[in-house]
Structure 1
Amino acid sequence: MENKNFDIIIIGGSYSGLSAGMSLGRSLRNVLIIDNGKPCNKQTPHSHNFVTHDGKTPAEITKLAKEDVEKYDTIQFYNGMVVKTKKTTEGFEVETSSNEMFYAKKLIIASGVKDMMPEIPGFAECWGISVIHCPYCHGYEVKNEITGILSNGDMGYEFSKLIFNLTKNLTLFTNGKASLSKEQIEKLNQNKIILNEDEIKEIKHENGVIQKLVFKNDEEVSLQALYAKIPFEQNINVSADLGCELTEQGFIKVDMMQKTNIPGVFACGDNVTMMRSVANAVAQGNFAGAVVNKELADEEF
């Protein structure tokens, strides 16, 4: 790629990054989108709760979105991984794993997050297929089925409230001693939600479709779906490189305009919110692109 200087570099070319790119490309901004083509939802068979695309595979939605964005000659793509970002006197410097350097006036971080899988055999194989993270994305498809939640404490309790609306055959698996309050346990009992504190040994499945949980005491429980809230980390080290603040939960901290605490750096998508959905990522990206264009217009006028 001959051109190394851009108005905006977008790190991440999934839904949020592509949406931001389209917003900026249509404003005649010179945009570079850097992406390594390894989305976190690669195993998910279907995406839901996004009007006009309900039920399509994530890969299909991405393909259609990229085809739309590629129509604009103001937008260029680079297949690679960003390993370092740096603020300069004129803007930002971005380095890839192949030692290529790119420069921009503004930076949009839409690189998503990396899920940290628990060391439970079968979990990673089922992730996104029958071990699911979001009732809004997948809950309707497993409504009224034998369902579990893998979580503990306040998160497990709050998640139980959401899932209880979708199935009355529900068990909260804490994978060890429960850290819920006495009042929370009583409320679960009132709603006939089973509390299981046994430690999980493995998840038995067929091609990612969960069959049962096997516990270290050799007990087994049959399941058709398991919700799980698991830890994550940012895909790029924005806090160390740029000094971006993170929230207590580990998300990039942004204001209502998708601005980080670093002037000229914006963020959108899964890396800023616990509401991980395609529709939300597209909306945030579209808005971030518009805000960045307005900021450039104010500076140039």
Structure 2
Amino acid sequence: MTRREALKQGGIVALAMALPISITSFKKYNDMNTTKNFEVIIIGGSYSGLSAAMALGRSLRNVLIIDSGLPCNRQTPHSHNFITQDGATPHEISQKAKSQVLKYDTVNFIEDKAVKAKKTGNTFHVLTASGKEFEAKKLIFATGIKDIMPSIKGLQDCWGISVVHCPYCHGYEIKNKKTGIIANGELAFHLAPMVKNLTNSLTILTSGKADFSPEQISKLKKNNIEIIEKEILEIEHLNGHIKNVVFDDNSKEPFEATYAALPFKQHSDIPELLGCELNEQGYIQVDMMHKTTVEGVFACGDNCTRLRSVANAVASGNMVGAIINMELSNEQF
């Protein structure tokens, strides 16, 4: 029975379709719980994964999305710099996206965690934490990355709220505030001009000896950017909104916002275990078509680029969906 037929007949199925996404997802799982073979499996059901699924669903491709429900921006109060969705919460955007994507009858969604994948011939086998196994001709990793939090008390509580990573995603909202950059060397110097454009009160917090060239030091001084080399012990905050940075000599410096260039790791180790190469920065290596180094495997979103934004994730997912549909169409033609 299709969704349209169910809606015409009414009853519990129609009611489930009108309820929140968790109910819809449950129905989708019931629809396909005896199906193990798909044309495409998408691991990761956030913005890039859902975008890829929409392109594939509109091309009548039989798709399974596997998502563990832990997006990296779940603490972020509002998403910005994404046209038509500026100011919406990440949750609102993803929920709306899911409801639209799951209207396509060939797209299936389960909340589970992919834990293993292997390739046999031209077929990919994916195993989930709940013990389910699925097969597909093509595999998409839309798994994102995981920030590695330093051992600074309070920083994680402020992450995505008043300690942020991107001036394009968050900078307008914290413009003209007393701002810090928690970073050192090239990462700090890369951020400094963009943040300086948004505030005249800027300090770099290197949390240790500064690592800048004489030319960089000269430019920072020219732009009245202070450098504090003391180790950071704590971020004092109120409900995630930074108040003070506390240093190892027990001194404090008030701030209203800070940027932090944090190290990261891949959210899933499956791509690397499957044979996908990572580049020097730790991202999944992809070509212009978002193909990984393993034939039939694609990556999109934050796991393969420094351009970490909802808009870019959606764009890359849309491209991957189109490229895979073209490949499948040519293989079947």
TM-score after normalising by structure 2: 0.89
In structure 2, what is the Cα distance between the partners aligned to 1:175 and 1:196?
Answer: 7
Please give the secondary structure, in 2, of the residue aligned with 1:271.
helix
Q: Deviations over 1:90-142 (max 9, x none)?
A: 32011111121110000010011111111100000000000000100000000
In structure 1, what is the Cα distance between the partners aligned to 2:313 and 2:191?
Answer: 22
Whether 2:105 is the aligned partner of 1:73: answer: yes
Whether 2:245 is the aligned partner of 1:197: answer: no
Tell me the C-alpha RMSD between the 2 structures. 0.8
Q: Deviations over 1:20-46 (max 9, x none)?
A: 000001100000000011111111000
Letter in 2 for 1:141: E
Structure of higher CA gyration radius: 2
Contact 2:56–2:321 (CA<8 Å) still a contact in 1? Answer: yes
Q: Deviations over 1:252-281 (max 9, x none)?
A: 011110111111000000101111111110
Whether 2:95 is the aligned partner of 1:60: answer: no
Residue aligning to 1:223:
255
Question: Which of the numbers 42, 62, 70 marks the counterpart of 1:10?
Answer: 42
Query: Where does 1:1-301 land on structure 2 (aligned, <5 Å)?
Result: 1-301=33-333
Q: Can you give the 5+ residue segments of structure 2 that lack an aligned partner in the other structure?
A: 1-32
Letter in 1 for 2:84: T
More helix as a share of residues:
2
Please give the secondary structure, in 1, of the residue aligned with 2:311.
helix
User: Following TM superposition, by how much is the alpha carbon of 1:238 offset from its aligned partner in structure 2, in angstroms?
Assistant: 3.5
Q: Which moved more, 1:241-250 or 1:201-210?
A: 241-250
Please give the secondary structure, in 2, of the residue aligned with 1:87.
strand
User: Following TM superposition, by how much is the alpha carbon of 1:239 offset from its aligned partner in structure 2, in angstroms?
Assistant: 4.6
In structure 1, what is the Cα distance between the partners aligned to 2:244 and 2:264?
Answer: 25
In structure 2, what is the Cα distance between the partners aligned to 1:221 and 1:186?
Answer: 23
Contact 2:141–2:271 (CA<8 Å) still a contact in 1? Answer: no
User: Following TM superposition, by how much is the alpha carbon of 1:13 offset from its aligned partner in structure 2, in angstroms?
Assistant: 0.3
Contact 2:115–2:270 (CA<8 Å) still a contact in 1? Answer: no
Contact 2:155–2:235 (CA<8 Å) still a contact in 1? Answer: yes
In structure 2, what is the Cα distance between the partners aligned to 1:239 and 1:284?
Answer: 17
Q: Deviations over 1:220-278 (max 9, x none)?
A: 11001100010111111135421101111100011110111111000000101111111
Letter in 2 for 1:11: I
In structure 2, what is the Cα distance between the partners aligned to 1:218 and 1:291?
Answer: 55
Letter in 2 for 1:241: L
In structure 1, what is the Cα distance between the partners aligned to 2:120 and 2:64?
Answer: 18
Letter in 2 for 1:33: I
In structure 2, what is the Cα distance between the partners aligned to 1:281 and 1:93?
Answer: 25
Please give the secondary structure, in 1, of the residue aligned with 2:303.
coil
Please give the secondary structure, in 2, of the residue aligned with 1:270.
helix
Please give the secondary structure, in 1, of the residue aligned with 2:219.
helix
In structure 2, what is the Cα distance between the partners aligned to 1:218 and 1:236?
Answer: 38
In structure 2, what is the Cα distance between the partners aligned to 1:175 and 1:182?
Answer: 19
Q: Which moved more, 1:230-239 or 1:209-218?
A: 230-239
In structure 2, what is the Cα distance between the partners aligned to 1:241 and 1:250?
Answer: 14
Letter in 1 for 2:230: D
Percentage of pairs with the same residue? 58
